[in-house]
């Protein structure tokens, strides 16, 4: 299965908050399937629909070592975040060639519509917590580098432009 191309920074889709999903349909499930293919192709540990130019509040996260364990989330929101933080080098296929170390809560509890269309909640820890927070940021129109100081963000974007040629 192929997936549509990633939209490239500074595409407006990456700065526009995603629309909530009213119900889980076969069309939504097909989008999740496409997103999992895109995530696995990177390879990555998560993807938000807006990264493929789809303006819906959909995300997938799979931080498992064996793959095939993707959590499908619609309308995800953080209910609880741990006081303990962890740092991780984050990047995005929407801005290839650059990464930045971002500090996020080590664990989060997230509420979301699951693949069956029911409200669910799940605790994510470590890399999975970092990934789900990264995807929720995307759905709010934020990029990982928005967590950096202005100077570090400007340097990162300059480096990305230079890498693109």
pLDDT tens per residue across span 31-60: 999 999 999 999 899 999 999 999 999 999
Question: Taking all residues of the chain, what is their mean pLDDT, rounded to a whole number?
Answer: 96
How many percent of the chain have pLDDT more than 70?
100
Element (H, E) at 81: strand 71-81
| Cα angle: 7, vertex 12, 16; to 5 degrees | 110
User: Strand, coil or helix: what is 161?
Assistant: helix
Tokens of 164: 């693109």
Alpha-helical segments (H) within 45-120: none
Tokens of 21: 């999903």
Tokens of 140: 């709010």
* Per-residue model confidence (pLDDT) at position 146: 97
Prediction pTM value: 0.96
* Per-residue model confidence (pLDDT) at position 108: 98
For 129-145, how does the pLDDT look when each residue is reduced to its tens digit (9 = 90+)? 999 999 999 999 999 99
Tokens of 42: 């990177």
Name 101's Cβ contacts closer than 8 Å, sequence gap at least 6: 87, 88, 89, 90
Contact indicator for 47, 56 with CB cutoff of 8 Å? no
Name which of 88, 78, 96 is nearest 147 in CA terms.
Answer: 88
* Per-residue model confidence (pLDDT) at position 66: 82
Residue 83 pLDDT > 80: yes
């Amino acid at each position: 299965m192929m997936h549509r191309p990633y939209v490239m920074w500074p595409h407006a889709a990456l700065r526009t908050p995603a629309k909530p999903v009213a119900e889980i349909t076969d069309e939504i499930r097909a989008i999740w399937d496409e997103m999992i293919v895109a995530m696995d192709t990177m390879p990555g540990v998560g993807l938000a629909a807006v990264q493929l130019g789809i303006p819906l509040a959909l995300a997938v996260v799979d931080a498992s070592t064996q793959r095939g364990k993707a959590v499908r989330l619609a309308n995800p929101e953080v209910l609880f975040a741990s006081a303990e933080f962890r740092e991780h080098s984050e990047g995005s296929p929407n801005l290839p060639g650059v990464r930045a170390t971002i500090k996020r809560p080590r664990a989060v509890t997230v509420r979301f519509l699951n693949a069956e269309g029911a409200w669910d909640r799940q605790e994510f820890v470590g890399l999975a917590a970092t990934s789900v927070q990264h995807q929720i940021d995307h759905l709010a129109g934020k990029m990982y580098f928005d967590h950096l100081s202005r100077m570090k963000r400007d340097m990162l974007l300059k480096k990305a432009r230079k890498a693109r040629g």
